[in-house]
Every structure is written in structure tokens, then in C-alpha cells.
Amino acid sequence: MPILRKPQQYGFFSFDGGLLHQLSDAYGLGPLTGFRPILLDGDHCTLIDVRSQTSRKMVVEGSDGTRLFLKQIPWYCERDALVLATRWQTQAHDAGAPVPRLLHTLTGRPWFEIAGSYFTLTEYVPGRRYSSTPADRAQAGEAIARLHAAAVDVPDEPAENTFAVAVEHVALARESTAVPTAVLDVMELAVRSWREQAEAAGWDGLTGQLTHGDTNPWNLIYGERAMLIDFDNAHRGPCLRDIAEALLSFCSVHYQQDSTNFAPTLPGPINHPAAADILTAYTRVRRLEAAEITCIPPASGAVAVGLVCLGLLRGDFPTTMAAALAAWATTIPADIADLVHERRR
């Protein structure tokens, strides 16, 4: 995905009547009778704009009681990426992957465009939020593996390199934050070193496939089986990027309570038992090749650097934490390598 600065004014929490009428006409929905700016997470009720501020979202309800999830595609998701992501999501659902069904307009498109903005409608998936249990982590690992194992059409381009994206995040942090140059230099040099290690281990020969690109706890809905949502960052690439982010976001990073934003708390070492919940469930569905296993630690370091830069860019982390965050990110490959070694014994 392109690494772009977030617009200062976005108007996340408003859909005017004209837009909703055009939506209804585009999809042939008939009268829309309910407009809900909330998510029902089991016994919890969460305001959608508290959960995420990357794009406008709303639950809409038809006259027959059908619930659908309306979403404006974020500013950083360009049209080519949208075409790829919606095609993959449709194919993955049809192949039986744990992905909600995307609705298509009357003209057959899985999105609609109004005044230069893109919107999608998906089936509303009932369920609950992540509850930090081994069962939920196992559901996440299984869901991610089932997505990776789904038979979908994967074109040669566009492709995304986990290490190049991390360097781009560092570059944007240089441009847009007051983080000391020396701290950013440490992270950039580390990413370049990890890229060399991964390439020596066979990174460039790994299969490029459908990769979700944002496997944090909030992008799954939990029930009997977890469902993956939010394909804005979907891309072609090695599946290790999804595995790495899951290990970090479920087993190290802290989040603000009802939000996808990071808590201003230094992430800790990887929780190895929690990580084992994810990896054990994943490998029951999809076997990891030797080169993939070897590349997980350096890929995890690159993802950790990306998360640090994202948190600094969004203001989740104060600049005063930058050096400690960089130190955490640079320890991640060794921590993940220890985890992998434990599982091989």
C-alpha cells in the first residue's frame, strides 16, 4: 500500500442523506430504515468512530431487517489496490475462507464511487470482540491460515515487500514527526540488515499470495469461528507479514481499550504461550515451509518498526518514547527466533 499522510480533516462520522440514497439505488436495496453508528461486540456496545478513525463506517438496515456494513475506503487505498482487495475478498469468500460476503452493485462492481470517494457494503457479521483468551487466539491463527490457504487468483503485480514498506514508514516519520534522526537511523539500519538476512534465507523465492495486511485483534470477529474483516491493506506478498503482525499485535503491543490505536505503553517481549496459541492453530491448517520459518524473525522486526512509526505518526506514542520503542523493535527478531526454536524442540 502507499505510505501516505492522513488528511487533517476527514469528517469520519457523517453520511448525508443524498449519499445514502445513492447507495440504496446503486445496490437496489430499497428503503433503508436503520442507521447505526455502533458495533455490538457481544455484551459490549462500541461507537464505530471510537474503534477506528481511518474511515467513515456505519451499520445500515433495510426494511426487511437485513443489516449491512457500510464503509468508506480510506485515503491511502488507491483505486488499483481497491480493485485487487475487493476481487480477492470476493474470491476468498467464494472459496470458503472466513471472510464476509461483499455486496455487488447492480452493475456488478464490489464497490461504488461518489464524488471521487469509494464505498463498500458487506454482510454484517454478528459476533464479539477479542477477549484475550487462548481460544480467541486459536481462532485468529486458524482464520489467518484459512485465508492464506484459499484458492484465489494471484496476479504477478502489484506486489509489496515488508522490508521496503518499513523503510517507507521510517521515511514518513522523518518527514512528519520530531523523532530524533538518530533513533530513526537505528530502525532503518536494522530493517536493511533484516532484509539481507531474509533474502539470504530465501525471501525472494517465497510464494506471493493473498495477504490481509492488518491482522490485529480488532480485525477479526469471534464466535464459533473467527471472521477476518477490513481488507484495506490487502496485497500480494509472502504470508509471513500477516503472521508477524498477529504475533506482535496479539502478544506484545497494547491497545487503548475500545480503539485500534496503541496505548502509550511500551510493548513488552512476545508472550510465548500466547504466540504458541496462534502458531499451533495456524500450522494445523497450513504447513510452514523451512524458508518461511527462517524468515519469520526478520519479517517480524520489519513489521515492528512499521508499527512503531505508525504509532508515532498518529500520536499514539509520545516522541519521548521513540528511543525505547526503537529498542523494543530491534529486539523482536531475536525474541521471535527464540519462539520458533522452542516450537522446533
pLDDT of residue 38: 57
Please write down the HEC assignment for all residues of the chain.
CCCCCCCCCCCCCCCCHHHHHHHHHHHCCCCEEEEECEEEECCEEEEHHHHCCCCCEEEEEECCCCEEEEEECCCCCCHHHHHHHHHHHHHHHHCCCCCCCECCCCCCCCCEEECCEEEEEEECCCCECCCCCHHHHHHHHHHHHHHHHCCCCCCCCCECCHHHHHHHHHHHHHHHCCCCHHHHHHHHHHHHHHHHHHHHCCHHHCCCEEECCCCCHHHEEECCCCEECCCCCCEEECCHHHHHHHHHHHHCCCECCCCCCECCCCCCCCCHHHHHHHHHHHHHHCCCCHHHHHHHHHHHHHHHHHHHHHHHHHCCCCHHHHHHHHHHHHHHHHHHHHHHHHHHC
Helix axes 290-314, 181-200, angle to 10 degrees: 160
pLDDT at 241: 94
Question: What is this structure's pTM?
Answer: 0.89
pLDDT of residue 90: 93
Q: What is the 3-state secondary structure (H, E, C) of 91-150?
A: HHHHCCCCCCCECCCCCCCCCEEECCEEEEEEECCCCECCCCCHHHHHHHHHHHHHHHHC
The dihedral over CA atoms of 272, 275, 276, 282, expressed in degrees to the nearest 10, equals -160
> Could you tell me if 123 and 260 are in contact, meaning their C-beta atoms sit under 8 angstroms apart?
no
- pLDDT at 18 (0 to 100): 76
pLDDT at 257: 76
Dihedral sign (CA 249, 254, 259, 263): negative
Tens of each residue's pLDDT in the chain, 345 residues? 444 444 444 444 466 677 788 888 888 888 877 666 555 555 555 555 545 555 677 788 877 778 888 888 876 677 888 888 898 899 999 999 999 999 999 999 999 988 788 889 999 888 888 999 999 999 999 999 999 999 888 776 657 899 999 999 999 999 999 999 999 999 999 999 999 999 999 999 987 788 899 999 999 999 889 999 988 888 888 989 999 999 999 999 999 876 789 999 999 999 999 999 999 999 999 999 999 999 999 999 999 999 999 999 999 999 999 999 999 999 999 999 999 888 876
